[in-house]
Structure 1
Amino acid sequence: MTEALHLAELNVGRLLAPTDDPRVAEFMAALDRVNGMGKRMPGFVWMMEGSGEPGMGNTETKIDGDPQYVSNLTVWENVESLEHFVWNTVHRSFYERRAEWFEVLGGMHFVMWWVPAGHRPTLEEGLDRLAHLQAKGDSDRAFGWSYLKEAQLWKTHACARMAAE
Structure 2
Amino acid sequence: MQLAQLNIATAKDDLDSPLLKDFVDNLDPINAIADASEGFIWRLKDDTGNATDVQAFDNPRMIVNLSVWESLASLQHFMFKTHHIDIMKRRAEWFDKSPLATYVLWWVEDGHVPSTAEALERLELLRKHGDTAQAFSFKKTFSAEDALQR
What TM-score, normalized by structure 1, do the two folds share?
A: 0.83
- Paired residues of 2:10 and 2:96 also in contact (CA < 8 A): yes
**Residue 146 (structure 1) shift:** 2.0
1:92 aligns with 2:89: no
Query: In percent, how many aligned pairs have the same letter?
Result: 34
Report which stretch shifted further, 5-14 or 141-150. 141-150
Of 126, 130, 142, 1:133 maps to: 126
SS at match of 1:117: coil
1:59 aligns with 2:52: yes
Of 28, 32, 47, 1:36 maps to: 32
Alpha-carbon distance between aligned partners in 1 of 2:8 and 2:142, rounded to the nearest angstrom: 24
Q: Any unmatched runs of 5+ in structure 1? A: 151-165
Question: Which residue number in structure 1 is paired with residue 147 of structure 2?
Answer: none
1:77 aligns with 2:73: no
1:122 aligns with 2:115: yes
Deviations 1:102-136 (A, max 9, x none): 01112001100000010000111100000010011
Q: Any unmatched runs of 5+ in structure 2? A: 144-150
4+ runs deviating over 3 angstroms: none
Q: RMSD in angstroms over aligned alpha carbons?
A: 1.2
SS at match of 1:147: coil
Cα separation, partners in 2 of 1:139 and 1:149, compared to 1, 3 Å: closer
- Paired residues of 2:132 and 2:142 also in contact (CA < 8 A): no
Alpha-carbon distance between aligned partners in 1 of 2:16 and 2:64, rounded to the nearest angstrom: 17
Alpha-carbon distance between aligned partners in 2 of 1:127 and 1:75, rounded to the nearest angstrom: 15
> How many residue pairs are counted as aligned between the two chains?
143
